[in-house]
Amino acid sequence: MSRILDDIEAGRGLSDNEAELIVRWLWKIEGLLWHVSHPTHDYSPKYTLRERVLRPLDAVRGELILALALCASVDPTYGDAPMGLDSHSAIDGIFVSGVFSRTAMMVVLAPFQDLIPQQFSSYRLAPVGGEADADAKLLYPKTTFPTDTELVGVTWLCSRQLTAAHEAYAHQLHANA
């Protein structure tokens, strides 16, 4: 992940394989934090955290949007670059968002891509079996925020709406199952 973040921030782009690694890494971080907050609950009705992070992605792969945005500078008054998650899902095991150094990232289901702020560059992962050249660089996120303060603020605000949309969708799926 360190190399991938370096490549993103240096403008060297991102491949489909790297996009999937970011998705899995975000799910791992979010899932571990979720388990700390809910030690006696199941991670999701469909997957364990281990399955979500390690097993091959199923049909959901082609429905995943990875959205990224960069900022030009980190405000030195905070003492360090931002690092943390902005999403707090209870039942949805898909949506996650956060800011890590100069990069904001989020995993969004395709039906909610219109809720992604316009400052973010978005990439829809190739469906299972559809990766012709999964190592080709396909996404080159733009630097659209002047500082990390704006980057964190926009990510935090849109994460509230995206979390609510994903949670309602997951709740509806579980109620209909």
Q: For 105-139, how does the pLDDT look when each residue is reduced to its tens digit (9 = 90+)?
A: 999 999 999 999 999 999 999 998 776 688 899 99
- Whether residue 45 has pLDDT greater than 70: no
Phi, psi of 49 (to 5 degrees): -60, -40
Mean pLDDT score of the chain: 90
pLDDT interval class at 50 (50, 70, 90): confident
Percent of the chain exceeding pLDDT 70 equals 96
Predicted TM-score (pTM) of this structure:
0.92
Per-residue confidence (pLDDT) for residue 131, from 0 to 100 = 61
The CA-based angle 7-8-13, given to 5 degrees, is 80
Per-residue confidence (pLDDT) for residue 177, from 0 to 100 = 65
Q: Are 119 and 154 in contact (CB under 8 A)?
A: yes
Residues with Cβ within 8 Å of residue 105, at least 6 apart in sequence: 22, 26, 66, 67, 68, 97, 98, 99
- Whether residue 49 has pLDDT greater than 70: yes
- Whether residue 88 has pLDDT greater than 70: yes
Pairwise CA distance, residues 175 & 169, whole Å = 10
Pairwise CA distance, residues 116 & 106, whole Å = 9
